[in-house]
Amino acid sequence: MTPDKKVKILATLGPATKGIDDIRQLVEAGVNIFRLNFSHGEHADHAMRFEWIREVERQLNYPLGILMDLQGPKLRVGRFAEGKVQLQRGQALRLDLDATPGDAQRVNLPHPEIIAALEPGMDLLLDDGKLRLRVTAKHADAIDTEVLNGGELSDRKGVNVPQALLELSPLTEKDRRDLTFGLELGVDWVALSFVQRPEDIIEARQLIGDRAYLMAKIEKPSAVTQLREIAQLSDAIMVARGDLGVEVPAESVPQIQQRIITTCRQLGRPVVVATQMLESMRFSPAPTRAEVTDVANAVAEGADAVMLSAETASGDYPLEAVQMMSKIIRQVESGPDYQAQLDVGRPQAEATVSDAISCAIRRISGILPVAVLVNYSESGNSTLRAARERPRAPILNLTPNLNTARRLSVAWGVHSVVNDRLRQVDEVVSTALEIAQAQGMASRGDILLITAGVPFGKPGSTNTLRIETLL
């Protein structure tokens, strides 16, 4: 499992994955971390896939991250007497708390928090944005709207409210049950949906504690507005372009994506770009040129990871999708301008020993033909700071902590090796050289940079940088 790319691949599992052999093939094709989507499937399904991943991790001796993605609140209209209606532009439609089946004049909206938050002039989006309504009047238990974009509306279609901040927790009762189950399984990451404000991250943290790392999904306009505060409270960020692309104008999504990537890099938080990256490969063995460009742009912008959703969860060509994504990543990373573009977006260093060493690593690896940077890290924090600099050389993270290695499965350029003897290692340099050679990341005559903390094994103590040649 010698690394051949720096940007990681996060793949969603679902019915398309039939067993351990499928998981192993996905990993060998380039997957670094797996997503269990709790919007679908039963707990037993997720537990089975969790065990498959852990078995492949043992077989390959290669740390694999597992992310559970919580569903979050699902806002939907009620039901219609005839199952569906046709809405015409300019007509009036009332949405109310009455559970009686609706018609073309009114329908149930079983979410009082939406009615409370809306004001005349605000818009609602229905069915993934296909229909747009504008609020004309507000009542205690209903809102009146005018249809701006009409079309067919059927039972239980989704509702998006881009212009209002809802007094709604991102964690439903289902999410809380799922979270308890996932934490008991031992997931490494929790992805939080429906994040609107920093307080949502604090609420989730109180439930998760230190049992998993927290990835905030940016899919609401209010979360974009408070992006920096949310990112500071999170361990990683996901650019969730599905709902985000519904709630903001489509032409704004690329700019928002770039802003999120830039902010996360400045803060040293891994960032994942997600949703519809190779969507056509659900049913085709080859992607569109636009999809290839989309993945390539995310890589070039400096994302830590790119994600596959339905392509690997339920598509007809999951392995081919991973193979194609790996090819795109490698192609971009081998380009003459890739490193230069990353250097242009280099974040401002903080006045810390760790950042000073990380900046030195980047400079040295740009001057000398460094084969690999070897970093000893108990917690993974110094490795993340090194990855933030986007050095030319790949990063070999040596840690005695398997949880740390799994956490770093989403981080740019990081390849982790876990060994309990690293807690007591005395010969830091010789051990680093030995493992780098064994991992196929260095050979005789290669230059290595080695960072560690003295005293060794104390988290947050990285203070040593060595330049060594493998003899």
Residues tagged active-site? 35, 76, 217, 275
In the chain, how long is the greatest CA-to-CA distance? 80
Amino acid letter, 170? P
Burial class (CB in 10 A: 0-12, 13-18, 19+), 151: middle
**H or E element in which residue 126 lies:** strand 123-126
Cβ neighbours of 270 (radius 10 Å): 28
Tally DSSP H helices, then E strands, for the chain: 17, 21
Distance CA 143, CA 75 (A): 16
156, with CB counted inside 10 A (0-12, 13-18, 19+), is exposed
Place of tokens 């498959």: 52
The CA distance from 410 to 412, in Å, is 7
**Both structure tokens of 370:** 């460094």
Q: Which two tokens stand for residue 355?
A: 């950042």
DSSP-derived secondary structure letter, 128: T
Sheet with strand 370-376: strands edge to edge: 414-418, 395-399, 370-376, 447-453, 462-469
CB–CB of 2/299 below 8 Å?
A: no
**Helix pair angle (253-267, 289-301), 10° resolution:** 30
Whether the link from the prior residue into 455 is cis, omega within 30° of 0, is yes
Q: Which helix (H) or strand (E) segment is 330 a member of?
A: helix 318-333
